[in-house]
Amino acid sequence: ATGPGAKLPRATLAARETLRGHALRGTIAATLGSARLSLDGTAPLALTGPMDLSFRLDNLSASLLHAADPKLAASGIITARARLTGTPRAPRGTVDLAAKSMRLLTGPASSLPPADLTVHETLLGQSVRGTARLALGNRADLTLAGTAPLSAAGKIDLALNGRTDLRLVDPLTAAGGTVVGGILTPDLRVTGTLAAPGAAGTLTLAGGRVQNIASGLDLSAIDATITAAGRTIRLDRLSAKAGVGTIDGSGTFGLAKPMPVDLRIAFHHASPIASDILTERLGGALSLTGDIDTGTRLAGTIAIETANIQIPQGLPPSVVKLDIRRKGARPPPPAAPAPPVALDLTVDARNEVFVRGKGLFANLGGRLHVGGTLASPQPTGGFHLIRGYFNLGGQTLNLSRGTVRFNGNGVMPVIDLEVSGTASDGTVSTLALTGEASAPKITLSSTPSLPSDEVLAHLLYGSSTQNLSALQAASLAASLAELAGIGGGGPDVVGGLRSALGLDQLSIGGGTSAPTINAGRYVAPGVYVGAQQSATGGGTGAKVEINLYKGLKLKTEVQSNSGTGGTTGPGESVGLTYQFDY
């Protein structure tokens, strides 16, 4: 009447047993709601004694789980039949089980289709032979058939066939922001023993897809063929579409200890990550080699052909990540420790890493090496500034220093960009943009130390706030509000036009009196061609920059202020310089 089983339906039990020598003979009949159970025959008191039992179960409803535990709710009907002879140590006979329309009604699994399971097994003393079939709506239909041992030393001979639509697991993975798809077709056979299994056959994936909202991962048209041969699993073919490019791979994995692994993956103009913050095009290759038991090594080189890091428009000063949990649900278990994987990765940027947004443009290049382990990565190096500016208050401030690095905690880059200048009174003012690209922070500082409005006044106008005109003071106030995260968030018109024209740089700046338009793009790896035009028609310019080596740049510029035609004439100049940028 009380306790966990208080809500269970009324149960009845009737038993009649007779002890004959070393065995019990009789019948047991029970009911639980609409369920009926019966057991009759002879059961030995010793494991080696003979038995002759008949078992029957009808109409057992899965809804009884809710009566036993209010947190569980399920539907479906289970029936079973068994006829057992032989001895408990060497049973013989048949077992049939049918579970129809089985379904969980609570939790993420409630979105799964109802499952039908049918089992027919024949007990052969030391082994069992039969067939089990599992169907989940039209998403999965799998059959396992063959012989399995009843002891650890027995022989295995099992075949798995069927078809599974991977959209089946979406209800389980969607909570983590991951969506998967594709048709998985197994045609596998497992032989050997439990201690030393062997495999044969193939496992194919067609039309696969993996998307993760948080990281921006998006792989489509995934096709793979895995072949099992003895104690080796071989990845014969792996291909996936990543943006406009592709990813392919191959390799082997050993089932026997120490479980050797040798996997290779290559990127061909691939864009596996695509988000509002980060887009890229990659080349290069990675390899995972070693033994699972003793340790593996992930090594290779990734070439960043181009990358765009977009700072969000109108992002508030800080965004709190909420840890949402279902009421009554247990807290998630702690993350499993990372496997022992040593890292030897090189990321090579070909001078086409761009950081944009909030008036910022930075072009960077360089090389990053990641050592250490997967549990404790140790990045060294990074991407250094090639050119860049920061538009603020109608002024264009050239970046004086900048790097982009990765801290080993994910794919989100960490930026560190700086604008500095020395005013006529000797004050050195600095504006720094630092932090993860998804939520960077802007700080103002100076030597000697000044309030933020004074620092910004020295940067923008080269003087104190006391010497500003009314228009400059109003512009300064608007700039401070912009840096504080007030306003913004509108459409990036210039960015959309730059993308439509296929340019790497497009900006409008230079103040209200003589605004200028700057545009340019990389015409070859390390070769940048740019142009500048005054909006009032007062002057034009063109430049070519060739990045010869890290920090060494060859720059050619042509400037014209006369508006006359021809080659180099009055008011025009040509310059050829070698410039070091560190």
Summarised one tens digit per residue, pLDDT across range 542-571 is: 666 666 555 566 666 666 654 444 444 455
What's the pLDDT tens digit per position in 444-501?
A: 888 888 888 888 888 887 888 888 777 677 777 777 777 766 444 444 445 555 666 6
User: Rounded to two decimals, what is the model's pTM?
Assistant: 0.70
Which position has the higher pLDDT, 425 or 123?
Answer: 123
Which position has the higher pLDDT, 255 or 162?
Answer: 162
Which position has the higher pLDDT, 165 or 538?
Answer: 165
Give dist(CA 578, CA 567) in Å, integer: 23
Give dist(CA 358, CA 390) in Å, integer: 8
**Amino acid identity, position 232:** T
Which position has the higher pLDDT, 509 or 263?
Answer: 263
Tell whether the model's pLDDT for residue 318 goes beyond 50.
no
- Count CB-CB contacts under 10 A for residue 207: 13
Tell whether the model's pLDDT for residue 77 goes beyond 50.
yes
| Average pLDDT of the residues in 512-516 | 49
Angle between helices 470-483 and 452-461 (to 10 degrees): 120
The pLDDT, as a whole number, for residue 525 is 63
- Please name the residues in contact with 207: beta carbons below 8 A apart, sequence gap of 6 or more: 181, 182, 183, 221, 222, 223
Select from 26, 96, 23, 25 the least CA-distant residue to 56: 96
Residue 139 CA: distances (Å) to CA of 115, 161, 163, 207, 306: 10, 14, 8, 15, 40
256: confidence class by pLDDT, cuts 50, 70, 90:
confident
What 3-state class would DSSP assign to 383?
Answer: strand
Mean pLDDT for the chain?
81
Query: 3-state secondary structure string, 389-426?
Result: EEEECCEEEECCEEEEECCCCCCCCEEEEEEEEECCCC
Tell whether the model's pLDDT for residue 316 goes beyond 60.
no
| Six-digit token string for 158 | 């099992």
Give dist(CA 115, CA 133) in Å, integer: 10
The pLDDT, as a whole number, for residue 55 is 95
| Average pLDDT of the residues in 220-244 | 94
Q: What are the residue ranges of helices labelled H in 69-162?
A: none
Which run of H or E residues covers position 471? helix 470-483
| Average pLDDT of the residues in 399-422 | 77
Which position has the higher pLDDT, 101 or 470?
Answer: 101
The pLDDT, as a whole number, for residue 552 is 60
- Name the DSSP class of 322: P
Select from 124, 56, 66 the least CA-distant residue to 91: 124
Residue 307 CA: distances (Å) to CA of 125, 241, 389, 527: 65, 18, 18, 16
The pLDDT, as a whole number, for residue 391 is 79
Give dist(CA 84, CA 147) in Å, integer: 18
| Average pLDDT of the residues in 306-314 | 78
Tell whether the model's pLDDT for residue 161 goes beyond 90.
yes
CB-CB contact of 496 with 503 (8 Å) = no
> How many Cα atoms are found within 13 Å in the side-chain-facing hemisphere of 64?
16
Position of tokens 């000697």? 448
Give dist(CA 399, CA 386) in Å, integer: 9
**Amino acid identity, position 354:** F
The pLDDT, as a whole number, for residue 488 is 45
- Please name the residues in contact with 194: beta carbons below 8 A apart, sequence gap of 6 or more: 149, 152, 154, 156
